[in-house]
Chains A and B, each alone.
Chain A
Amino acid sequence: MTVVHKTVMESGTAIGQALARKEDDRLLRGGGLYVDDACALRQFAMAVARCPFPHARIRHLDVRAAAALPGVVHILTGTEVQCLTNPITVLRPVPGAPMLPYYALAQEYALHEGHAVVSIVAQSRAVAEDAIELLEIDYEPLPHVTDMTRVLDPDAPVLHPQIMTSNLMASKTDYSGNPRAKLAEAALVDYDRFFVNRVAPLSMEPRGVLASWRSGARELDFRSSTQVPHLVRKQLAEALRLDEGAIRVVASDVGGAYGMKLGLFPEELLAAVHAMHLGHPVKWIEDRMEYFRASTHGRESFHDMTIGTDDQGRILAIINEYTNDIGAWNSPFGSSQLSSVTFTGPYHVPDAQVCRHVVLSNKTPIGAYRGYGQPEVNFAREVLLDRVARKLDISPLDIRRRNLLRPEDLPWRTPSGAVYDNGDYLRPLEMLAGATDYEAHFDRPRRPRADGRIVGIGLSSFVERTGYASARFLARRGSHFGAHESVTLRANRSGGIDLYTGVSTCGQGNETAFAQICAAVTGVHYDAIRVHAGDTAQSPLNTGAFASRTLIAAAGALKQAGDAFRDKTLRIAAMVLQISPEDLSIAKGLVHSVREPDRTITLVDVFNRAITGQGIPEGLEPGLETTAHFEPPEASFSFGSAAAVVAVDPETGDFDIERFVFVHDCGVAVNPLLVEGQVRGALVQGLGAALSEELRYDRETGQLINGSMMDYFALTCSDVPKIELMHTEIPSDVTTFGVRGVGEVGTIPPAAAVANALCDALRDYGVAFSALPLTPETVWRALQNVRNKGETP
């Protein structure tokens, strides 16, 4: 792939080019501005005391010794927080669930290890941590429940007894056709319970905030590592009982977010309360020990999946009943919901039913995490589909060929009401089969190679819901945000454009993509477009960088604002050049005549005329600034298939992924480099969750037993297998420029592809996998179980 530096951009050619990212120059030179890079004069540091028990009553709390430590300036407890703030609101409540009063500090009861109990501000973080050790907190440990399969047992402690009578938050069923009747007709019905591991989103930059209160101006300046600055401002206003006008939220560079940084967290609110009390800036930077206990986790769920087929492997019905364990509280965003949207995957299944239960447990809250329900259900469905294929003696490739939706089936409405837009789901699968020589591979006997390893291949097909289908859709589900994105383009005197967006820069390349589209629409040079991202005081109100939705919505806003900007530019130029605007074009910093290219006026000249109002057409408003809000009419669905080739050592269960091939379609790629970066990054997270990542709680003590970077097995670059990417590029017919989202897709297929490859390698043994992660010990145990039953080949 060629990286094009400083290309001279012709109008309309910027979309699709592999331009080097605008962000990289500063990020690679260490010039990024993360929260901890920002320093305010006389800032204090905050640290939080956290409950060491999974469930406890705070019988007594004495802060006097801590307060007396030299350097300590302010302490907050649950009582003060209850007086000074409202509970933190949820941006996307679970439909039908009760509202839990989530205060920034525990109120009498602490409900998970890591639950914030006291916060202390001091002259340095070290002093604040010293003060934490001087707190006298008398905890009365209470019975706890951390096993998600036990939370609804009659003897399980109820986490919120004032509000609820059990730990069940909500249940919801969606269905289409008559899946029960279809199952009764099926030649084969297979079922299993699949367990999906609790994992950490693991942003490189932890959470952090620098809160400053200018008491004279009554203004809260709030620097936060967030993917939704405008929504954090809304939640801050609600919790602090302030007008939104008094709050400015700034997210400069955000070192990864992945859904975790989707809204206001308790510690951020605490920093604001401290800062308002002290009149001094207060900084809180999360450390990794806190991160593992207080930043939201992802995924944990179990899926009871049933698939019924005819004797040719055609799917007649899918029923999925699943349980999401969301921990002790609602996260700021709300728990994952997309398992219900994509449980039938890319397949033609008119008769299907899904039932979702949301439950509570004494663990850290679960929040949004890249994929948001889609990797979970994909694992269950794709692994079970392979088992069906084996039982019917059909190859896993053929069973997918027989069931994938055809272009003529699209648009396709799933039981949850989501509509898949156009696409060709078979093409990536066939490309994958070709690239891996699947059939020859599959037909080979599974004998050990010279190195003792047995090779197998596994497939996993998927769709990814990208973006939201309109504000109406969100309103029906009680979401407190819209589906739109917005952008402001403002001409500057240097002949360039200042582009303002509320989408913060989380590593996704929004500055690059926005500038590329803006350049394509306006004709202004890519290098002359400066993107100002993530500041609520500058940007128009928007939604934020999540749900693979930014470009689905922002492309439309950029198109509208860009068209209006270009029109006005041409009107001014037309007056000066005495040429009709239709005969003018913008390129290379000039407006020029299409017919007589020598007749030109510089953009510097045009923009200065607009800015001063001197020398512009009679009746035209001065200034050159356009804003657009664009509401996408539909969500778009990315799709594709992935394959893993594994080599297993049957003696130890150890295995390597020798190839991982991923073929997908995300519509028109605005910048292939950004697409590749997004896919690879998400694949690494998907592979990590498939192979080794898992937050484990001790059943007896209810404590997190591997909550540090030393003990949490995130993959390092040396552990990531070589990844081969291929794309098809079918423009979506429901989005501007035909783009589809691409932010989360890589997390979806890896677990099933690896599980299916292991089963294929060990097919002579007849092993099956239904829980993540898939470690060498898991494989060894599966083999031991088979051997103990005397079924060794």
Chain B
Amino acid sequence: MKASDFLYHRPESVPQVLGLLRDYAGGARILAGGQSLMPMMNLRLWRPAALIDIGRIPDLERLEQKGDVTILGPRFPYWRIENDRVIAERLPLLARMVRKVGDRQVRNRGTIGGSLVQADPTGEMPLGTLILGATIHAESIRGRRAIPVEQYFLGSYATAIEPDEMLVAVEYPRHPAYFSFAEVNRRHNDFAVVSVAVAGDRAADGTWHNLRIGLGGVDETPVLALAAMRRGEGTLLQAPDIAQMGILAAEHIDPPDDFRASADYRRHLTRVHLTRVLGSMLASAGFREE
């Protein structure tokens, strides 16, 4: 379990990173917290020709507030998502979900950018970012572009980021007023068997709007449960609504069948936990389930 040979660079600025990325033409990887990258390299599953360590570049851990919008730098660490008061107020779903990421050691080093580039289909930050409808900003020598999160995850450990691009910022729009989250693990903070997150706003008449329902561990990428979202949008989320949303969500996924759980069981858990999570979101809005 020793990595194969690679070159190591520690540039001082983002333009230098972009130059190196171009020079290696897809052969280089960016090193931030290293919590996913280093194990993959030590197992020799990934063999980058070079590592580009962005650890010394100033300003990549920034947290910007622009009206309702919150922007995180690529090296914004998990531990700050977990502990920062601004995050607790502005992105409470992420603060809640990050506690299910790895262990304390991983959270001390891992970063939001690293997690989104890794794109683990069971990952908490990818799912949370999807639910919150964020925009991913990527930059290369060719220029800068904004990728809506719905178009960002392309497959298991695959994203829309091109080999010469660097993820430079994650932009979160206004956070919905209510949210809830549940995750099933085989053991404490293991990869999710199934994770379910919901968020939405409630109008004065009690109807729910901007509903977002996301599922992790049930497909190649984190997914939005679109049919269930449509079914719930504008309703009071009464018991029959919720029951049907659970069924719809379970019908529209293609969960893996592996030693963590069977596809059947993941489908079942998705239905049960979506109904429970919706129930707890309702409860957080002052409603009690009948």
Report which A residues bind B (CB closer than 8 A).
124-126, 129-130, 133, 287-289, 651-652, 654, 692, 696, 705-706, 710-711, 713-716, 718-719, 775-777, 780-781
- Contact: A780 with B190, CB < 8 Å? no
| A688 closest partner in B (C-beta) | B187
| A47 closest partner in B (C-beta) | B2
Query: A287 and B1 in contact (CB under 8 A), knowing A713-B187, A716-B187?
Result: yes
| A693 closest partner in B (C-beta) | B187
Give residues of chain B (223-262) contacting chain A, Cβ–Cβ below 8 Å.
Answer: 259, 261-262
- Contact: A652 with B268, CB < 8 Å? yes
- Contact: B186 with A718, CB < 8 Å? no
Query: A775 and B186 in contact (CB under 8 A), knowing A651-B272, A711-B259?
Result: yes
Q: How far is the CA of A629 from the CA of B87 in the complex (A)?
A: 67
Give residues of chain B (103-149) contacting chain A, Cβ–Cβ below 8 Å.
Answer: 103
A711 partner residues in chain B, CB cutoff 8 A: 259
Query: A713 and B186 in contact (CB under 8 A), knowing A651-B272, A652-B269?
Result: yes
Q: How far is the CA of A696 from the CA of B258 in the complex (A)?
A: 11
Give residues of chain B (257-275) contacting chain A, Cβ–Cβ below 8 Å.
Answer: 259, 261-262, 265, 268-269, 272-273
- Contact: B272 with A719, CB < 8 Å? no
B3 at the interface (CB under 8 A from A): yes
A718 partner residues in chain B, CB cutoff 8 A: 188-189
- Contact: B187 with A289, CB < 8 Å? no
B88 at the interface (CB under 8 A from A): no
Known: A129-B1, A710-B39. 11 other contacts (CB 8 A): A126-B2, A129-B2, A652-B268, A652-B272, A692-B186, A696-B259, A705-B259, A718-B188, A777-B261, A780-B268, A781-B265
B1 partner residues in chain A, CB cutoff 8 A: 129, 287-289
Ranked nearest first, the 5 interchain pairs of A and B with the lowest CB-CB distance are A718-B188, A126-B2, A287-B1, A777-B265, A716-B188
A654 partner residues in chain B, CB cutoff 8 A: 184
- Contact: A719 with B265, CB < 8 Å? no
Contact of B187 among A125, A287, A651, A715 (CB under 8 A): A715
Interface residues on B, range: 20 to 34
* Majority DSSP secondary structure for residues of A touching B: loop
B273 partner residues in chain A, CB cutoff 8 A: 652
Q: How far is the CA of A19 from the CA of B4 in the complex (A)?
A: 48
For this complex, 16 residue pairs linking A to B, each with C-beta atoms less than 8 Å apart, are: A126-B2, A129-B2, A287-B1, A288-B1, A289-B1, A289-B43, A652-B269, A652-B273, A692-B186, A706-B259, A710-B191, A714-B187, A716-B188, A718-B189, A776-B184, A777-B261
Query: A713 and B190 in contact (CB under 8 A), knowing A287-B1, A706-B259?
Result: yes
| A290 closest partner in B (C-beta) | B1
| A694 closest partner in B (C-beta) | B259
| B3 closest partner in A (C-beta) | A126
B186 partner residues in chain A, CB cutoff 8 A: 692, 713, 775
B3 partner residues in chain A, CB cutoff 8 A: 126
Residue interface mask B3-21, A partner, CB < 8 A = 1: 1110000000000000000
B259 partner residues in chain A, CB cutoff 8 A: 696, 705-706, 711
Give residues of chain B (170-196) contacting chain A, Cβ–Cβ below 8 Å.
Answer: 184, 186-191
| A651 closest partner in B (C-beta) | B272
Q: For residue A122, give the distance in angstroms from its CB to the closest CB of chain B.
A: 11
Residue interface mask B33-50, A partner, CB < 8 A = 1: 000000100011000000
Q: For residue A197, give the distance in angstroms from its CB to the closest CB of chain B.
A: 12
- Contact: B262 with A777, CB < 8 Å? yes
A781 partner residues in chain B, CB cutoff 8 A: 265
Q: For residue A66, give the distance in angstroms from its CB to the closest CB of chain B.
A: 14
A715 partner residues in chain B, CB cutoff 8 A: 187
Q: How far is the CA of A710 from the CA of B186 in the complex (A)?
A: 11
| A45 closest partner in B (C-beta) | B2
Q: For residue A128, give the distance in angstroms from its CB to the closest CB of chain B.
A: 9
Q: For residue A3, give the distance in angstroms from its CB to the closest CB of chain B.
A: 27
Q: How far is the CA of A781 from the CA of B184 in the complex (A)?
A: 17
Q: For residue A286, give the distance in angstroms from its CB to the closest CB of chain B.
A: 10
- Contact: B268 with A125, CB < 8 Å? no
A777 partner residues in chain B, CB cutoff 8 A: 261-262, 265
Q: For residue A150, give the distance in angstroms from its CB to the closest CB of chain B.
A: 20
Q: How far is the CA of A347 from the CA of B259 in the complex (A)?
A: 38
B272 partner residues in chain A, CB cutoff 8 A: 651-652
A129 partner residues in chain B, CB cutoff 8 A: 1-2, 4, 44
| B262 closest partner in A (C-beta) | A777
B261 partner residues in chain A, CB cutoff 8 A: 777
Contact of A125 among B2, B184, B190, B265 (CB under 8 A): B2
Query: A719 and B262 in contact (CB under 8 A), knowing A288-B1, A780-B268?
Result: no
B2 partner residues in chain A, CB cutoff 8 A: 124-126, 129
| A653 closest partner in B (C-beta) | B265
Q: How far is the CA of A705 from the CA of B268 in the complex (A)?
A: 24
Q: How far is the CA of A428 from the CA of B39 in the complex (A)?
A: 47
A288 partner residues in chain B, CB cutoff 8 A: 1
A705 partner residues in chain B, CB cutoff 8 A: 259
- Contact: B187 with A692, CB < 8 Å? yes
Q: How far is the CA of A169 from the CA of B53 in the complex (A)?
A: 56
Q: For residue A584, give the distance in angstroms from its CB to the closest CB of chain B.
A: 57
Q: For residue B104, give the distance in angstroms from its CB to the closest CB of chain A.
A: 11
- Contact: A130 with B190, CB < 8 Å? no
Q: For residue A127, give the distance in angstroms from its CB to the closest CB of chain B.
A: 9
Q: How far is the CA of A133 from the CA of B5 in the complex (A)?
A: 13
Q: How far is the CA of A130 from the CA of B1 in the complex (A)?
A: 11
Q: How far is the CA of A781 from the CA of B269 in the complex (A)?
A: 12
Q: For residue B272, give the distance in angstroms from its CB to the closest CB of chain A.
A: 6
B189 partner residues in chain A, CB cutoff 8 A: 716, 718
Q: How far is the CA of A776 from the CA of B269 in the complex (A)?
A: 11
Residue interface mask B155-176, A partner, CB < 8 A = 1: 0000000000000000000000
B39 partner residues in chain A, CB cutoff 8 A: 710
Q: How far is the CA of A369 from the CA of B92 in the complex (A)?
A: 46
Q: How far is the CA of A651 from the CA of B268 in the complex (A)?
A: 9
| B186 closest partner in A (C-beta) | A713
B191 partner residues in chain A, CB cutoff 8 A: 710
Q: How far is the CA of A28 from the CA of B156 in the complex (A)?
A: 41
Q: How far is the CA of A385 from the CA of B259 in the complex (A)?
A: 31
A130 partner residues in chain B, CB cutoff 8 A: 4-5
Q: How far is the CA of A384 from the CA of B268 in the complex (A)?
A: 30
Q: How far is the CA of A133 from the CA of B186 in the complex (A)?
A: 34
